Amino acid sequence: MSGIIDKAIGIHAQALQLRARRAELLASNLANADTPNYKARDLDFRSALTEAQQTTQLVTTAPGHIASQGGVAGAETLYRVPLQSSLDGNTVDSQMEQSRFAENAVRYRATLRFLGGTISTLMTAIRGE
């Protein structure tokens, strides 16, 4: 995809991917709500998005080199600081995770709406109506 379409879509494509990634993390937290010693994870959306926009890929020139996971996949996951730790070492707070998951889903939909608007604008321009 080049030029004009990329520009029109802008930040929303990466934002959508990051929202999906955050949904994965929160789903993992909820699935492991009863796993001993599981540490809840999340990502800092703002810094992850900034990072995804300005990624430089490392060049791998030898088989021993490890490729950098640039872009959205390279966003760093952080461990959550528990409000109240439990005896089995699990730091998942189901209620908080559920509300975060809901919030993330709403924001995912918002990004989808932005993208839909942009696409219909582009279609209008293409059809010349």
Residue 22 CB burial class (10 angstroms; 0-12, 13-18, ≥19)? buried
45 binds another protein (CB under 8 A): no
98 binds another protein (CB under 8 A): yes
* Count of residues engaged in binding another protein, rule: CB under 8 A: 38
According to CB under 8 A, which one of 4, 10, 36, 47 is a site residue for another protein? Answer: 36
CB of residue 62 vs another protein: minimum separation in angstroms? 18
Are 103 and 18 spatial neighbours (Cβ–Cβ below 8 Å)?
A: no
Show the site string, 5-34: x = touches another protein by CB under 8 A, - = not: -----------xx--xx-xxxxxx-xxxxx
- Cα–Cα distance between 29 and 82 in angstroms, integer? 13
Measured from the CB atom, the residue of 41 and 49 that comes closer to another protein is 41
68 binds another protein (CB under 8 A): no
According to CB under 8 A, which one of 58, 73, 110, 125 is a site residue for another protein? Answer: 73
- Cα–Cα distance between 103 and 26 in angstroms, integer? 11
Please give the angle made by the CA atoms of 48, 54 and 56, to the nearest 5 degrees. 110
Report strand pairing: 41-42 vs 78-79.
Answer: antiparallel
Are 93 and 82 spatial neighbours (Cβ–Cβ below 8 Å)?
A: yes
Contact footprint for another protein (CB under 8 A): 16-17, 20-21, 23-28, 30-36, 38, 41, 69, 73-77, 94, 98, 101-102, 105, 108-109, 112, 115-116, 119-120, 123
